[in-house]
Amino acid sequence: MVKAAYLHIPFCHHICHYCDFNKVFFQNQPVEAYLEAMDQEMKQTVSAFPTKELETIFVGGGTPTALDEKQLEQFLTSIRTHLPLANNGEYTFEANPNELTKEKLTLLKEYGVNRLSIGVQTFNEELLKTIGRVHTNEEVERLVKLAKEMGFSNISLDLMYGLPGQDLEMFHQSIEKALELDVEHISSYSLIVEPKTVFYNLMRKGKLHTPSEDDEAKMYGFLMDTLAKSNFNQYEISNFAKPGYESRHNLTYWDNEEYYGIGAGAHGYVGGVRRSNVAPIKRYMDLVEEKGFAYLDEHVVTVGEQLEEEMFLGLRKTKGVSKERFAEKFGQSIQSVFGEAIAEQAKLGLLTDEDGYVRLTTKGRFLGNEVFQAFLGIND
């Protein structure tokens, strides 16, 4: 049964230098027509793949808060009409600090949004310019204060490390500033330079100067240590929450459960099939009008792939992969499938196998991608 939905708003007023998500400049885009196409896709998706109610809805981008108030209400109305959210459901909107006004917050609150994910990335304002962000620290502080005053009690900040020109002290100051704002959740990711980004083009020209691997590791170590001392639980490699504020939507992915994907370039996983939508907005709208869906690809996940996904997604969680749940889900023990790989990674000090879970060690969190690779291709 589908428990979650991801909805993609691809419009941005500014394009960040590191971003490789599906996005376009807002100006001169057919925003209202795109929202109408999303409305139709929501309707068709729930009709084709019924669910009783969702536990989480996550709106990402692009920049969802780039929508003006009228467009935002149009979109929120569609979600309320087509996607049944449980009474205690988690409903998240991504937000830019300089775009989320009191009027937009009022709309979000009215339509049931109860979690905000604010894209801060750094509290160093020179570094913000370097990465193509246009907000200020004052706007972050204003938004967090205003959101709390309006009753939002589940606020997450996104921070990045390994950025060009960023040193250890800059990152330390960003973490300390985030803690001063007393939010419930912090996500912190290292920079990955992706193709088709400004940073990728600079890297190819030898003009992108990022911290050394050693300094990046020190940033991650500081992140884990400092947040642990501040009552944040590291429940996933890059995510930290005060008790009870873990992102239920993201846990849907890491628990390898099913979810709808709505919008241009969105991905979904329903009925054992992973589906991805076309990314170009005009093509997306045309396909939805013609067929009700805009699939670029539909991939039936084989049993072998399911086994691998259960491992490399589940190992992202601090608690790891449940051996009992694995056996119930697949009818075979985790040892019979991955015993050799688990033993090999444990010997390297990267995994532990205890208390009914296979999980990364602290050392393993620094080398997560290498560990995940050990579980790929075993069932080919």
Return the domain boundaries, the chain. 4-254, 320-373
Query: Is the preceding peptide bond at 62 cis, omega within 30 degrees of 0?
Result: yes
The band of 1, judged by pLDDT with boundaries at 50, 70 and 90, is confident
State the residue for tokens 């939805």.
Answer: 288
* pLDDT tens, residue by residue, 175-191: 999 999 999 999 999 99
Q: Is 323 helix (H, G, I), strand (E, B) or coil?
A: helix
Which CATH number describes the domain made up of 4-254? 3.80.30.20
- Count CA atoms within 13 Å of residue 252 on its CB side: 24
8-state DSSP, 223:
H
pLDDT at 76: 98
How far is the C-alpha of 314 from the C-alpha of 329, rounded, in Å? 13
pLDDT at 35: 98
* pLDDT tens, residue by residue, 43-54: 999 999 999 999
More confident residue, 13 or 71: 71
Q: How many helices, marked H, and strands, marked E, lie in the chain?
A: 15, 17
Q: Which tokens hold the place of 67?
A: 């929508």
pLDDT at 23 over 80: no
The band of 21, judged by pLDDT with boundaries at 50, 70 and 90, is low
Burial of residue 138 (CB within 10 Å: 0-12, 13-18, 19+) is exposed
- Residues recorded for the chain: 380
How far is the C-alpha of 170 from the C-alpha of 215, rounded, in Å? 12
How far is the C-alpha of 216 from the C-alpha of 222, rounded, in Å? 10
pLDDT at 380 over 60: no
pLDDT at 268: 98
pLDDT at 18: 66
pLDDT at 286 over 90: yes
pLDDT at 208: 84
The band of 194, judged by pLDDT with boundaries at 50, 70 and 90, is confident
* pLDDT tens, residue by residue, 238-283: 999 999 999 999 999 999 999 999 999 999 999 999 999 999 999 9
pLDDT at 353 over 80: yes
Query: What is the arithmetic mean of pLDDT over 69-74?
Result: 98
Query: What is the arithmetic mean of pLDDT over 78-102?
Result: 96
Q: Which tokens hold the place of 69?
A: 């108030």
pLDDT at 218 over 70: yes
pLDDT at 357: 97
- Amino acid identity, residue 128? L
Which CATH number describes the domain made up of 320-373? 1.10.10
| Helix (H) or strand (E) run with residue 198 in it | helix 198-204
pLDDT at 323: 97
User: What pTM was estimated for this model as a whole?
Assistant: 0.95
pLDDT at 24: 65
Mean pLDDT of the chain: 94
- Count CA atoms within 13 Å of residue 85 on its CB side: 21
In order of 53, 55, 127, the CA distances from 87 in angstroms are: 9, 9, 41
Neighbours of 30 (CB within 10 A): 12
* pLDDT tens, residue by residue, 221-235: 999 999 999 999 999
How far is the C-alpha of 263 from the C-alpha of 259, rounded, in Å? 13
Smallest CA-to-CA distance from 2 within 38, 35, 47, 34 is with: 47
Phi, psi of 163 (to 5 degrees): -80, 155
pLDDT at 26 over 70: no
Give buried/exposed letters for 39-58 (b at 16+ CB in 10 A, else e).
bbbbebbbeeeebeebbbbb
Terminal Cα distance for the chain, rounded: 28
Burial of residue 269 (CB within 10 Å: 0-12, 13-18, 19+) is buried
Smallest CA-to-CA distance from 156 within 262, 31, 242 is with: 242
8-state DSSP, 191:
-
* pLDDT tens, residue by residue, 110-151: 999 999 999 999 999 999 999 888 899 999 999 999 999 999
Give buried/exposed letters for 361-370 (b at 16+ CB in 10 A, else e).
beebbbbbee
Smallest CA-to-CA distance from 123 within 163, 170, 86 is with: 170
The band of 195, judged by pLDDT with boundaries at 50, 70 and 90, is confident
How far is the C-alpha of 212 from the C-alpha of 349, rounded, in Å? 23
Helices 102-110 and 69-82: crossing angle, nearest 10°? Answer: 10
Looking at the chain, the whole-number percentage of residues with pLDDT higher than 70 is 96
pLDDT at 93: 98
pLDDT at 362 over 90: yes
Smallest CA-to-CA distance from 65 within 20, 113, 99 is with: 99
pLDDT at 27 over 90: no
The band of 7, judged by pLDDT with boundaries at 50, 70 and 90, is very high
* pLDDT tens, residue by residue, 327-352: 999 999 999 999 999 999 999 999 99
